[in-house]
Amino acid sequence: MALIGVINEGATVPNDDQSWLVNRKYDGVQEVTLDLGTFTKDEYFTGAAEGANTVFVKSGIPLARITGTGEYGPYDAAATDGRAEFIAGLLESALEATYGRNGLTGVKQTAGMRYSAVINVDKLPVAVAADAVWRGDFHNGPKGEVVVALSTPAAVDATPVTP
């Protein structure tokens, strides 16, 4: 079915690569508000094409809470806004973002954050340091391999992270 009057020239809609997600365990997703202004690295995005003003934030980005606002951005060990403390969860699905003349528009967006799963850390869209602190209930276990806890027992809390 063609949409009449819609022109999407230059845009590329990528498949959502969730190869990082091995097993959901149970429905461990909560709704959070993202501050897309904190997503400043090219590796966070996919689907960019010359002439297009739409990109997609990749699913599986490790998220952390921004202390002053209660919003979330990508975990960054060098951040000074709270995002260096721990990984609260992972972006559940790819998220569409639009660029305008002055950068990203709609900087505050609601998204799902997974806080419980068996994942393959090696397939996350960004590298995570081995000493990163994980909150929630995360285990690393590529299919067919031994599953290892990422969250420490004290940090394992199936309760969603609230501001």
Percent of all residues in the chain with a pLDDT value above 90, rounded to a whole number:
53
pLDDT, greater one: 61 or 40: 61
21-149: which CATH topology?
Answer: Virus Head Decoration Protein; Chain: A, (2.40.300)
137-140 β-sheet, strand order: 21-23, 116-119, 137-140, 148-149
In this prediction, residue 6 carries a pLDDT of: 40
Q: Where are the domains of the chain?
A: 21-149
Please tell me the pTM assigned to this model. 0.83
In this prediction, residue 13 carries a pLDDT of: 62
Q: Write the pLDDT tens digit of every residue in 111-158.
A: 999 999 999 999 999 999 999 999 999 999 988 888 899 987 555 444
